[in-house]
Amino acid sequence: MLWGGRFTGATDPLMVAFNASISFDQKLAQVDLKGSIAYVESLFESGLISQDECLKLSDGLKKIAVEWNAGEFKILETDEDIHTANERRLEELIGQLAGKLHTGRSRNDQVATDVRLWLMDAVSEISMILKDLIKTCVKRAETEIDVLMPGYTHLQKAQPIRWSHYLMSFACLWESDLERLEQLKERCDSCPLGSGALAGNPFGIDRFNLAKRLGFSKVIRNSLVGNSSKIDFIGVSDRDFIVEFLSWASLMITHLSRWAEDLIIYSSGEFGFVKLSDAYSTGSSLMPQKKNPDSLELIRGKSGRIFGNLSGFLMTYKALPSTYNKDLQEDKEPLFDTVETIKGVLLISTGVISTLMVLLFFNFR
Ligand code: ARG
């Protein structure tokens, strides 16, 4: 066991389950191994392990990556989290040498690194999906540029506007969401590995090379706390990048929920401006006249859970003493859930926009 050295008594089985995060942090399996392979190379670079040891360690880690990919990795009841699980498996594969992997490293800098790497990948994926949504909306505005609709203030008919103008109002909002997302990625892109448990790495690991190996463009400047200028982050206990992502998602879904609400209204029998495609609506067995905009209602409804993830994690994060505290393990579920939810919402929104039928055919010319 990774941390059992000083302990003689057994842990209460309820506590074992309570303490474990493997059920959800196994999502980090690949980035965890990536971090370990880079760390092994740094150990070699600093002369702490031999070339042969370096090869054995990284080969073992690569085998574990293949096992996870193939769905063959067997989680044991004793695996507390993804870090202990991967290291337990490494020991099974290459023996006691596996223990050297942890030289000067702590799960504190390890988990902070894993989550940043994972989020940077997730952000790239979300950014692509969001670009697709914007493009779909702009294309639609272009082909339907001459269609007119009533514009509303106070939900009362105000002045006629172009349908394309209305569509572009959301494309513009989403473009600013995209810009914010890219900016947030820059701040996430800073390597905490080498911070150790809190006080840094005593073995002279080159943190700049380590960061480069992992694809980070910079390193964090303080292993425990730091002032927060544009490029300055706090080490093992910094989860600002998670708060930032959750806040980003909250504003993104705010925009989407307003758009969804508009279309729910516009697709009602009373307004009749648009008709949702069958692919994104459901019917009623009892009332055949009905076409329910379930897709849009779910987009609107999922905003609650995204705001909940943000406020829940902020409550956990506030007033924590420096530096790492186990409370921080609670960062993952809201983050993972928000990433999955926002991806789903963006994909469905793109589907809704591209298949919507417009019933407002008032030509300008
Ligand atoms: N599973 C833990 C987490 O997600 C890893 C870090 C554990 N660190 C510790 N000092 N117990 O936060």
Q: What is the pLDDT of residues 166-225, one digit of tens each?
A: 999 999 999 999 999 999 999 999 999 999 999 999 898 999 999 999 999 999 888 874
- 3-class DSSP assignment, residue 157: strand
237 pLDDT above the threshold of 90: no
Q: How many CB atoms lie within 10 A of CB 33?
A: 25
Q: Tell the residue nearest (CA) to atom 2 of ligand 1.
A: 329
Contact (CB, 8 A) for 234 and 220: yes
37 pLDDT above the threshold of 60: yes
CA 320 to chain centre: 23
pLDDT classification of 226: cutoffs 50, 70, 90: very low
Q: How many CB atoms lie within 10 A of CB 294?
A: 14
User: What are the structure tokens assigned to 81, written together?
Assistant: 């989290």
Q: How remote is the CA of residue 242 from the centroid of ligand 1, in Å?
A: 16
Radius of gyration of the chain (CA): 25
Q: What is the mean pLDDT of residues 30-40?
A: 98
- Quick one: pLDDT at residue 149? 95
pLDDT classification of 234: cutoffs 50, 70, 90: low
Q: What are phi and psi of 156, to 5 degrees?
A: -115, 140
- 3-class DSSP assignment, residue 277: coil
232 pLDDT above the threshold of 50: no
| Any atom of ligand 1 within 6 Å of the Cβ of 22 | no
Give the rounded percent of residues in the chain with a pLDDT score beyond 90: 86
Buried-state track 68-91, b at ≥16 Cβ within 10 A, e below 16: beeeebeeeeebbbbbbbbbbbbe
Contact (CB, 8 A) for 83 and 112: no
Work out the angle between the directed axes of helices 332-355 and 107-143 (0-180°, nearest 10).
10
| Any atom of ligand 1 within 6 Å of the Cβ of 81 | yes
| Any atom of ligand 1 within 6 Å of the Cβ of 21 | yes
13 pLDDT above the threshold of 60: yes
334 pLDDT above the threshold of 50: yes
The residues, any chain, with a CB within 8 Å of residue 274's CB and separated by 6 or more, are 263, 266, 267, 356, 357, 358, 359, 360
Q: Cα dist. 343→170, 299, 338, 346, 350 in Å?
A: 18, 11, 8, 5, 11
364 pLDDT above the threshold of 80: no
Q: Tell the residue nearest (CA) to atom 11 of ligand 1.
A: 326
Over the stretch 90-106, which tens digit does the pLDDT of each residue have?
Answer: 999 999 999 999 999 99
C-alpha–C-alpha distance, residues 112 and 241, integer Å? 10
Q: What is the DSSP letter of 191?
A: B
| Any atom of ligand 1 within 6 Å of the Cβ of 136 | no
Cα 49-55-60 angle, rounded to 5 deg: 110
Task: Name the average pLDDT for the chain.
Answer: 93
E strands present in 125-243: 148-153, 156-162
- Quick one: pLDDT at residue 253? 98
231 pLDDT above the threshold of 60: no
- 3-class DSSP assignment, residue 100: helix
Over the stretch 249-261, which tens digit does the pLDDT of each residue have?
Answer: 999 999 999 999 9
Q: Tell the residue nearest (CA) to atom 10 of ligand 1.
A: 108
Q: How remote is the CA of residue 227 from the centroid of ligand 1, in Å?
A: 24
Closest CA to 296 of 323, 317, 274: 274
Closest CA to 69 of 26, 123, 111: 26
Q: How remote is the CA of residue 354 from the centroid of ligand 1, in Å?
A: 44
**Residue 222, strand partner residues:** 234
Q: How remote is the CA of residue 313 from the centroid of ligand 1, in Å?
A: 16
C-alpha–C-alpha distance, residues 42 and 196, integer Å? 14
Work out the angle between the directed axes of helices 107-143 and 240-266 (0-180°, nearest 10).
30
- The alpha carbon torsion through 302, 165, 356, 354 (nearest 10 deg) reads -80
Candidate of 326, 332, 333 to mutate for ligand 1, largest count of ligand atoms within 8 Å of Cβ = 326
Q: What are phi and psi of 158, to 5 degrees?
A: -115, -75
- Quick one: pLDDT at residue 348? 98
| Catalytic residue positions, numbered | 154, 284
- Quick one: pLDDT at residue 292? 93
Candidate of 24, 81, 87, 117 to mutate for ligand 1, largest count of ligand atoms within 8 Å of Cβ = 81
In the chain, what's the furthest Cα-to-Cα distance?
Answer: 85
Q: How remote is the CA of residue 326 from the centroid of ligand 1, in Å?
A: 6
- Quick one: pLDDT at residue 282? 87
Q: What is the mean pLDDT of residues 113-140?
A: 98
| Any atom of ligand 1 within 6 Å of the Cβ of 26 | no
